[in-house]
Amino acid sequence: MRVTVRLFARLRDIAGAGELVRDVAPGATPRNVWDGLVREFAPLGDYSGSVSVAVNADYSRLEAQLEDGDEVAFLPPVSGG
Amino acid sequence: MGRPLAAVTREPLDLAALVGSVSVSPGHGAVTSFLGVVRNQHLDRRVTHIEYEAYEPLAVRGLERIIEEAQDCWPEAALGIWHRVGRLAVGEASVAIAAASPHRADAFAACRYAIERVKQIVPIWKHEFFEGGEAWIEGARADPSDEAARRAALDPA
């Protein structure tokens, strides 16, 4: 199945793109997607302990089960205000 | 009519308009407001401007969530939160908050709670530009279900 990955702020700078499309195995989780990204873009690994995840623009968990067509967003620590 | 109480916008923030949006009840005897403004220095760096980036649909939901949380704490209060994104010069407002309630204590408390929660859970980031460089600012790991963070926002230091 295929998911759209969204990356923000420094994560986007590291990957060089704010939006990526990735094929993942059925039943994949955001953690599987993230681990794949870390293999592609090693400096993302610095964020493995601090990243938040949203699926289809709603906060979710790294262990959630993804569906085909989902949008998975990875969020570094926030700094609004 | 119909200005949303939670918004992310590229336009300059109009605090008077936000106050007008929250203060609609004749039972409201107090309105407090907060403006977050781009400061000219941070960590001994001379800041020239900040670019704010948002994951917009989730940021709007985060602001709406904060308004709902405030409703639970202060049922008679009305709260509005607008956050600006894009390039902001020193002195420009990045966030505007207004709270109206029958009495001042709840209005102050709701306004303070809102800015603390914005900094905790709303997916917005500062890209700070300063003399000699630039840096992404990273604060809290965003976790809306973190009850300890929520309690801290209710009773900030």
pLDDT band at B2 (very low <50, low <70, confident <90, very high): low
- Nearest 5°: the CA angle B101, B34, B23 is 30
Residue B38's contacts (CB-CB under 8 Å, 6 or more residues apart) are B47, B49, B50, B88, B89, B90, B91, B92, B93, B94
Residues of chain B found within 8 Å of residue A79, distances taken between Cβ atoms = 119, 124-126, 136-139
Asked if B137's CB is within 8 angstroms of A79's CB, the reply is yes
Name the CATH code of domain B6-152 (choices 3.40.50.10860, 3.40.50.300, 2.170.190.11, 3.90.1170.40).
Answer: 3.90.1170.40
The tens digit of pLDDT for each residue in B20-56 reads: 999 878 999 999 999 999 999 999 899 999 999 999 9
Asked if A52's CB is within 8 angstroms of B141's CB, the reply is yes
Report if pTM > 0.90.
Answer: yes
- Structural domain span for residue A51: 2-75
Burial B105-135, CB ≥16 within 10 A → b, else e: ebbebbbbbbbbbbbbbbbbbbbbbbeeeee
Q: Are B98 and B23 in contact (CB under 8 A)?
A: yes
The tens digit of pLDDT for each residue in B52-65 reads: 999 999 999 999 99
The tens digit of pLDDT for each residue in B92-131 reads: 999 999 999 999 999 999 999 999 999 999 999 999 999 9
Q: What residue of A is the nearest CA neighbor of B140? A: A77
Min Cα separation B55/chain A (Å)? 7
